[in-house]
Chain A
Amino acid sequence: MNIHEYQARELFAKFGVATQPGAVAFTPDEAEAVASKLGGKIVVKAQIHAGGRGKGTFKNGFKGGVHLCDTPAQARDLASQMLGQVLVTHQTGPEGKEVGKVFVGEAVDITKELYFAILLDRATSAPVVIASTEGGVDIESVAEHTPEKIIRVGVNPALGLMPFQSRKIAATLGLTGPLANQAVKLFANLYKLFIDCDCSMVEINPLVITAKGELLALDAKFNFDDNALYRQPAIVAMRDKSEEDPREVAASEYSLNYIGLDGNIACLVNGAGLAMATMDIIQYAGGKPANFLDVGGGASKDQVSAAFRIILGDANVKGILVNIFGGIMDCNIIANGIVEAARETSLSIPLVVRLEGNNVEAGKKTLAESGLALITGDDILDAAQKVVGAVAKAA
């Protein structure tokens, strides 16, 4: 789950992580009101989940989703040109994203940009802090080209991030005097946020030193542990479904695990590993997968028909591969679900079904006697080759 920049700032404020003053505005009037309270130079930023906002262009021709200005009236004017408009960035795709809110904040005079992140280290099964003097840039390239500029500090989960560790990180980042004290407090509060909100990653890039001698978290990226959302109602309340793929939202309502991709062969599989492997084998057979879809170990008829509707909602889809290993599940029940879903949706594109496992003979019989023009595959490779072939033939 992702959150907006202004929501990240609200979390920072709640946990005492220093950040630039400002607030979200849903209308030009609100933007002006926020700006009047701040005073000084103002920044107005379009709030969408995609990156590259500063260099983006609105469909109304207005350039840039991030602007500086000097007066509340100007902030109002900027907000009115962004709100309700569609912003296209290199991450949104050509369709862009409608901007429903802007962040209005105090502009910051930056003297130095740093990098600071906390994430789960799988190798040690514990949190790790990553910091660098090279902030404001892509940290992956820093790690690749100048690994000596990356600081890694492992955290003992029973103790949490200790003050001595924070002092050591601050010193390595070249922070001294009052800045070092601010850093120790900021790191401790951020660690508390990381644990209390069940984050799997929180990244501050950049962490800045201002001309006034303050240390501020200027931009942040959060990842939350989906498994822990049941105990994080405040985080769940930040979910903005308009930012998500509508097919993924629909799938989650049926407890289906769906991820849309850009190919034309849809797949419906039980089990995450087998679903990934099915995508791979479609590509191996010369096709392109349209999605990842795991219906889980105990899929019901309703879930199978919902899965078909979601798959067919993607206009790019030209063929479907169903790959089920019914270990405990009865293959005949699954076969009945497929037949019903194909009838309900008046399926008109090639459907290849590969069933294996419990009561498979009855399942194959159900498919064969359904009268549907479906193709059966003997094993996964055979099924993948058949669906790729059928789609090529239909094209």
Chain B
Amino acid sequence: MAILVNPDTRILIQGITGSFGARHAQLSLDYGTKVVAGVTPGKGGQLFSNVVPIFDTVDQAVKETGATVSVVFVPPPFAADAILEGVDAGLDLVVAITEGIPVNDMVKVKQAMRGSKTRLIGPNCPGLVTPGEGEKSHGGCRIGIAPGYIHKKGNVGVVSRSGTLTYEAVWQLTTRGYGQSTCVGIGGDPVNGTSHTDVLKMFNDDPETEAIIMIGEIGGTAEEEAAAWAKEYCKKPIAAFIAGATAPPGRRMGHAGAIVSGGKGTAAAKIAALEDAGIAVSPTPAEMADTLIRHWGK
């Protein structure tokens, strides 16, 4: 099962001929992911890596290959247009990896997506991975930029705003023998497509997911909202970590969304909300997996 994507999911890559997109398209192919199409306007008819057909438009790529999910590696000035092209083509899921998209563009994208069937993950995110059955989780669905080999097929769902911190959690789980159902990076921007709460709901409904690690950071109130939802509805054990307890207020800590402003979005407030919801909060990033395993009792 897993959530959002599985090893049979057919994906297309927007921006497959750029250096960043090409590198990660190849890594996904090597991982065994079904990369069935690429899109680069003006390069339709060519092949990527001798196997993947490239199209001028997402619409053509979807009609020819049956792709249902797109990954966006398009540079920031053109990314909003690329996301909406995927929405227009009726995809189930668009994953925007691009970092640095103007917030106003994302405000318009969110407005334009209302009522559409497409889910957006990101932008400014590492993407998502549903590990496969093979050695080092080969044969899974790798969408985005996460290292595939650190995963292991299993029953822990991981959701996070940060890339390398997700890899830490996954690696801690894998090295302790605990596999993952799906790992989702929702991105570090203030306006994004999918929230912590959205992913928690999917994990709660997924029979394959038995426990959850949620990684948040300072800024906004998404973690508090997720905690409130989990307190009421979540049937599965959750461990959490919040980054940024020592961040000075009013400064953007790398991620556009990671900023404490006007006394809102502090780590302390988030940790209090999580603990109130019965979620086990890991005191340091070194103990995310151990905290979950203790709380889970498995």
Say yes or no: is B262 at the interface (Cβ < 8 Å to chain A).
yes
Closest to B147 in A: A327
Say yes or no: is A230 at the interface (Cβ < 8 Å to chain B).
yes
Say yes or no: is A243 at the interface (Cβ < 8 Å to chain B).
no
Cβ A297 vs Cβ B145 within 8 A:
yes
Q: Roughly how many angstroms separate A156 CA and B107 CA in the complex, as a whole number?
A: 10
Say yes or no: is A283 at the interface (Cβ < 8 Å to chain B).
yes
Say yes or no: is A302 at the interface (Cβ < 8 Å to chain B).
no
CB distance from B252 to the nearest CB of A (A): 7
Contacts of B253 in A (CB 8 A): 259, 272, 275-276, 292
Closest to A263 in B: B246
Known contacts A276-B258, A325-B171; A226 and B252 CB within 8 A of each other? yes
Cβ A273 vs Cβ B247 within 8 A:
no
Q: Roughly how many angstroms separate A271 CA and B163 CA in the complex, as a whole number?
A: 7
Cβ B190 vs Cβ A381 within 8 A:
no
Instruction: Choose from B104, B108, B162, B190 the contact partner of A274 (Cβ within 8 Å).
Output: B162
Q: Roughly how many angstroms separate A283 CA and B284 CA in the complex, as a whole number?
A: 10
Known contacts A279-B247, A280-B245, A327-B147; A381 and B103 CB within 8 A of each other? no
Contacts of A226 in B (CB 8 A): 252, 256
Q: Roughly how many angstroms separate A131 CA and B143 CA in the complex, as a whole number?
A: 43
Cβ A198 vs Cβ B191 within 8 A:
no
Contacts of B150 in A (CB 8 A): 327, 357
Number of residues from B at the complex interface, CB < 8 A: 61
Contacts of B286 in A (CB 8 A): 281, 379-382
Say yes or no: is A366 at the interface (Cβ < 8 Å to chain B).
no
Cβ B285 vs Cβ A125 within 8 A:
no
Contacts of A230 in B (CB 8 A): 76-77
Say yes or no: is B18 at the interface (Cβ < 8 Å to chain A).
no
Instruction: Choose from B104, B108, B257 the contact partner of A228 (Cβ within 8 Å).
Output: B104
CB distance from B205 to the nearest CB of A (A): 24
Known contacts A120-B191, A225-B256, A261-B248; A126 and B285 CB within 8 A of each other? no
Say yes or no: is B146 at the interface (Cβ < 8 Å to chain A).
yes
Interface string of B259-298 (1 = CB under 8 A from A): 0001100010000000000000001111100000000000
Contacts of A139 in B (CB 8 A): 262
Say yes or no: is B66 at the interface (Cβ < 8 Å to chain A).
no
Q: Roughly how many angstroms separate A127 CA and B166 CA in the complex, as a whole number?
A: 30
Cβ A157 vs Cβ B111 within 8 A:
yes
Interface string of B131-165 (1 = CB under 8 A from A): 00000000000000111011000000000111111
Interface string of A98-126 (1 = CB under 8 A from B): 00000000000000000000001011011
Say yes or no: is B215 at the interface (Cβ < 8 Å to chain A).
yes
CB distance from A178 to the nearest CB of B (A): 33
Say yes or no: is A289 at the interface (Cβ < 8 Å to chain B).
yes
Cβ B217 vs Cβ A273 within 8 A:
yes
CB distance from B129 to the nearest CB of A (A): 11
Q: Roughly how many angstroms separate A259 CA and B250 CA in the complex, as a whole number?
A: 12
Cβ A273 vs Cβ B248 within 8 A:
no
For chain A, residues 221 to 249, give those with C-beta under 8 angstroms from any C-beta of chain B: 225-228, 230-231
Say yes or no: is A294 at the interface (Cβ < 8 Å to chain B).
yes
Cβ A272 vs Cβ B251 within 8 A:
no
Contacts of B203 in A (CB 8 A): none
Interface centre among B76, B244, B263 (most CB of A within 10 A): B244
Say yes or no: is A200 at the interface (Cβ < 8 Å to chain B).
yes
19 more contacts with CB within 8 A, not counting A357-B150, A357-B171, A381-B286, are A122-B191, A122-B219, A122-B221, A122-B257, A125-B110, A158-B111, A225-B256, A226-B256, A269-B164, A272-B258, A273-B163, A274-B165, A274-B243, A276-B243, A276-B254, A279-B244, A280-B284, A356-B171, A380-B168
**Mind listing 10 A-B residue pairs with CB under 8 Å?**
A120-B107, A120-B191, A157-B111, A273-B164, A276-B258, A277-B168, A280-B243, A292-B253, A294-B254, A380-B286
Chain A contact residues, CB within 8 Å of chain B: 120, 122-123, 125-127, 139-140, 143, 156-158, 195, 198, 200, 225-228, 230-231, 257, 259, 261, 269-284, 289, 292, 294, 297, 325, 327-328, 356-358, 379-382
Report, nearest first, the 3 A-B pairs whose CB atoms are least far apart.
Answer: A273-B162, A272-B254, A271-B164
